[in-house]
Structure 1
Amino acid sequence: MDASSQPLLIVILCFGAYLAGSVLFALPVCRLWQLPDPRALGSGNPGATNVYRAGGWQPALATLVLDAFKGWLPVWLAHTLGMSILMQAIIALCAVTGHMIPAFYRFKGGKGVATALGAGLALAPATTAIMAGIWLAVVWRSRISALASLVAITSGPVISALMEPETLPLFGLLALLIVVRHRNNLIRLAQGRETGL
Structure 2
Amino acid sequence: MDVANQPLLLIAICALAYLAGSILFAIPICRLSGLTDPRVLGSRNPGATNVYRSGGPLPAALTLLLDALKGALPVWLAQTFGFSVFAQAMVALCAVTGHMVPLWYRFQGGKGVATALGCGLVLAPLTTILLALIWLLIVWRWRISALASIIALGSGPVISALLEPDTLPMFGLLAIVIVIRHRNNLIRLAQGRESRF
State the SS of the aligned residue for 1:15.
helix
Using the TM superposition, give the Cα deviation of residue 3 of structure 1 relative to its aligned residue in structure 2, in angstroms.
2.5
State the SS of the aligned residue for 1:173.
helix
Using the TM superposition, give the Cα deviation of residue 2 of structure 1 relative to its aligned residue in structure 2, in angstroms.
3.0
Structure 2 alignment gaps of length 5 or more: none
CA distance in 1, matches of 2:106, 2:91: 22
CA distance in 1, matches of 2:134, 2:33: 30
Please list the CA deviations of residues 48-97 of structure 1 after superposition, one character each: whole Å capped at 9, or x if unmatched: 00000000000000000000000000000001110000000000000000
State the SS of the aligned residue for 2:122.
helix
In structure 2, what is the equivalent of residue 178 of structure 1? Answer: 178
Which segment drifts farther, 13-22 or 27-36? 27-36
Tell me the TM-score normalised to structure 1 length: 0.99
Using the TM superposition, give the Cα deviation of residue 31 of structure 1 relative to its aligned residue in structure 2, in angstroms.
1.1
CA distance in 1, matches of 2:63, 2:36: 14
Using the TM superposition, give the Cα deviation of residue 4 of structure 1 relative to its aligned residue in structure 2, in angstroms.
1.3
CA distance in 2, matches of 1:133, 1:42: 23
CA distance in 2, matches of 1:11, 1:87: 10
State the one-letter code of the partner of 1:72.
Answer: A
State the SS of the aligned residue for 1:150.
helix
CA distance in 2, matches of 1:33, 1:132: 27
Aligned residues: 197
In structure 1, what is the equivalent of residue 135 of structure 2? Answer: 135
CA distance in 2, matches of 1:2, 1:193: 48
State the one-letter code of the partner of 1:157.
Answer: P
In structure 1, what is the equivalent of residue 125 of structure 2? Answer: 125
Q: 1:25-174 maps to which residues of 2 (within 5 A)?
A: 25-174=25-174
Using the TM superposition, give the Cα deviation of residue 121 of structure 1 relative to its aligned residue in structure 2, in angstroms.
0.5
State the one-letter code of the partner of 1:23.
Answer: I
In structure 1, what is the equivalent of residue 21 of structure 2? Answer: 21
CA distance in 2, matches of 1:8, 1:81: 13
Tell me the TM-score normalised to structure 2 length: 0.99
CA distance in 1, matches of 2:148, 2:81: 34
CA distance in 1, matches of 2:179, 2:114: 14
CA distance in 2, matches of 1:144, 1:97: 23
State the one-letter code of the partner of 1:86.
Answer: F
The percentage of counterpart residues that share the same residue type is 70
CA distance in 2, matches of 1:76, 1:110: 22
